[in-house]
Structure 1
Amino acid sequence: MMLTKRQKDILIYLCSKREYITIKQLAMKFNVSNRTIQNDLAFTDSFLSNSKVIIDRKSNKGIKVIANESEIFNLCQELKSLKYRTLDNYERLSIISLLLLCNPINTFEQLSNACGVSRQTIINSFQQVEDNFIKEGIKIHKIRGTGIKITGDEIRIRKYFESKLSKSIQDEVILSVVVRNSKLMEFDKIANEIIESVENELNVQFIEFMKIKLLLDYSLYRIGNGCALPADKCTNIKEIKDYKGYESIISALSNFEYSISDKLYFCSLFMNAKISDQYSDNLKTYRDSIDEARMISEYLFNKLQAIQPLAIDSKEHFIHGLTLHLRVAIYRIRNKIPIHNEFLTQIKISMPLIYEFTKKELLKCEKEFDIAFDENEIAFIAMYIGSAYENSFKTESRLAVLLVCSFGIATSSILKTKILQAIPECNIIGPMSERDADDYLSKNEVNLIISTNEYQVKDIPIITVNPLLFPEDI
């Protein structure tokens, strides 16, 4: 969910107020109608859906942001760091087209929410989208009370998706919006299994991994929704069967129960996919059997285990997912394809420990693998790691940090608040005196100690800070 500049400003304004604000007051403040404010608030509700900050509504009083000071501070920092941008017309048309292709039913409201614009803006753009579909022989049906759906020749529909994806594959904004708002990756696990099976059978690695995966995702989505290719419907059958890897691919697909027409179509996708060159001879011999993306993933997992263990049963899921992401990143780096991460500043602020960990460890990998990760790629990888930790921590998803401070209650409380604002990943225990800390540590485990004194404990990292927590301490 993306916010417009006004929606972002509304949230920041609400965060600055401690009293309830009426819709009318907001409308006057931002010089728009009451209805526009209500629509904007619907967007902000969606934006806040995964946070601990909520917008409370009370009749006859208005609305108010409800959260503790630390959460409000973090939200404001995040909002201020967001680089505001609206989708341009091309991006909006691409997203609308892809969502029509990737969902059984869409509504104008759903499309407007996905694009972060009004329903009327979508309606105004829709004729151009519809004309493009008609040119491809695909019909758009607007069903009153239900929504919008497409029908047409299955090959034409899949080929049109191929065309739209090829033009959008390097646009992170378009892809992220489509993935979040569609059924595209509903069969992602099976797509990964198919690719792995074909790679093993052909003894190759597909370097345009994300593209081939999304094309398979889409085919599987269509099949899952009752749109399998009819017998002998796949085009270029002779060309496919003449492909030197045809029999190997069919063999790799033997464990997957799809029609021969769909398997032939899968073959056509793999035929056109680029494969990697052989690894150079001077690399370590074990790289012959394990690709570098997986090696880096395993390295990062092992490093993370030393800091905050993940559940063992989540190891393979974590490594597999990170490997898929790294393959795409490495492909971009090797082929000098630049990428812009518009969430870069936000990631640095919202998850500083994870970002710095990722940056530090990937720098170590650069010499070994001859890959230079820039900060945009690092931030995307940090996002994945952060997400995996949220879902897979064995116990508490935050670092257990013991705060040892011998100063007064007021100073200690301010120090704790500042640490939480600077490093929200931490679960602060305390503050407490050195004597109380000794007693606590005799019965409990922590990952880190932050102290205002020269406190000494074996086997636990200790950071000594000024009680006022200067920037250099952070």
Structure 2
Amino acid sequence: MIYSPRLKKILEYCLEMDAYVSVDTLANICKTSTRTIFREIKDIDQDLKAYDLQLTKTKAGLCIEGKEENKAFLLKELKVQGIAYLDKTERRNMLIFELLHSEDLEKLIHYAGMFQVSEATISNDLDAIEPWLQTYDLSLLRKPGFGVQLIGKEENFRRAITSIVNQSIVQNEQLQRINFLDSSSLLHQIFIDTGSQSILKLLDQDILTRVLHVFETYQHELSLDRYASVGYIGLIIHLVIAIDRIQKHEAIEESNEVLSMVHMDPAFQQARKMAYYLEIEFDIDIPDVEIAFIALHIKGAKITRPEDKAHATTLKQQVYEMLKSFDEAKRVILLSDEEFMNGLLTHLEPTIIRLKNNLPIYNPLKETISTMYHDLYEQTKQACQYIEKCYDCKVSDDEIAFITMHVGASIERNQQKKLKKREVMCGVVCASGIGVSALLSARISKAIPEGIKLKTLSMEDITRHHYEDMELLISTFDLQLDDTEVLMVTPLLNDEDLHQLLMKLHPLWEKEGIKPLNKQSNLLYRIKEASHLAVDILEEFQTYTIDDTLKINDMIHFVSSHCRESESVYTALMKREQMGSVIMEDFHFILLHALVPDIKKPMMMCLYPKQHFQHYPNICFVQVMLMRKDASEIEQELCSYINRSIIEDDVFLTYMQKGNREDIVKHLQMIEEQYVKECIEE
């Protein structure tokens, strides 16, 4: 029997202990999660029956039960050395990869020897993988007595290779915990340290290392920090495969259609620059059609907002159509959430590029999202059918899971910030006050059942100023009034109208300082907000060397001069300083912190003397932490967590005192990841 290395370790430990073993213990031994342990043992019962054994699962843990001689026999088999332990799925994936890389007919005995199974097993594996290969327009050529070979176009070979490599990356539990711009971390944690039989090791390691070196050397020139992490890794895989195939003279056929799509796009110029550096590194010529495909990957990986106004309007209309798939309550929540609308528009831009050009993306949280948020996932899947209709393409489960994350975060954010709304007085205006305005009032009341009091008004009421107690007027035609705000809508109140109305109502609801009723933390929302804030702090973090003679007031002036909102920063820091300086002599640093009204995101920086601070002889550095005036609870917690870590984490304090930015950033990332982990556990 063939087992994966992890399942082999689980079985050996349970047999050697000969008692119930907790799942937590097994997870620690295997250095993985309890969820992975359950996934490993999911199909083990049938295999154990062959040894007349069974795996019992109780609250106490796992235990293999049966006769002692049967246990001893199984344990002896597991201890046999020299067997490549692969489960069926792993073996078939490896077989696909070998077929994709083989240029000649290979006999079944070749693959049987490679995987230490029978020729009949390989034949069955070929039958099983053939439908998967057909989805990439690849066919198996089987010649009895000669062997088997894959047939298809070069671009389809590359798509299939990319797909199977990416699937291996998604299964890597390190993916969410590394700095993807750190080439060393990416190389070892994702592409190398993934087990002895990992498909990822079948990528050309020399090409991979050199591509990562080029990216690390020219990351600023290539603006690599503008990429989503999954898209960035996908781009690397595409380049490694493309360079490997170019070196083997297996280039993609020239395609004027592909070139015409991107040759005027800024992404093509960036792809050309990327190709230039790679051509120098590998001493190859990268043809224009290959550069065009690189450009498509760049467009599909970048985090961008649509800049063309007409295109942005089209995207917004598509979002409105998608939201019709959700029930009324959810639709109103989503339409009222500006963060959701902006976030989804930003996400859809590269998504549509990927869909139109058949570029893959892989979501490591797909299984979790589709399981934990099943109903929401299914509604989102239905919503995506509109995108499929618009662009005549299939939206993958991975893309659906990404969009579900945006939807779920919005709904949970709404629960967290649920308000006891005061009633806002709104006038609904039409010519008579009894026709369109009555219909419109009914639609508004249905969409927004609380927090709004409607009064129908005629044009005569407007002329006589019978609207003085109204905070907002909703009209089907343009009213030129100076004393009251007017929102013009269509008589049927479409989703765009509803979105605009909710945007007008939110600040009115909050005028009286309404307090949130529900402060319960929600997992998806906390993860998303905490992660975004953590990235913001990392990206904004800077270190500066300042004059040794500066006093605290001078330092505040220096800090504010290096901020875009210099005046607000200076005022806020000086106001906080008037309450008393925070000088941590025992830990050799000064803390400058404040709530600043105009900054867009939290900011952190460190100041260091050229030699020693003359006025503060025991101080090694100055820690600066700026938060937004209306900082959320999570933002306050994260910034506090970082400042607290300086005192509680000796390694972090040492890095901060020494002032090496690279060391600080790496450790700061670990601290932020720990905070996000604690949010999840909490």
**Shorter-normalised TM-score: what interval?**
0.3 to 0.5
- What TM-score comes out, normalization by structure 1 length? 0.40
- What TM-score comes out, normalization by structure 2 length? 0.29
Which structure has more relative contact order (CA 8 Å, sep 6+)? It is: 1
Task: Report the structure number with the largest CA radius of gyration.
Answer: 2
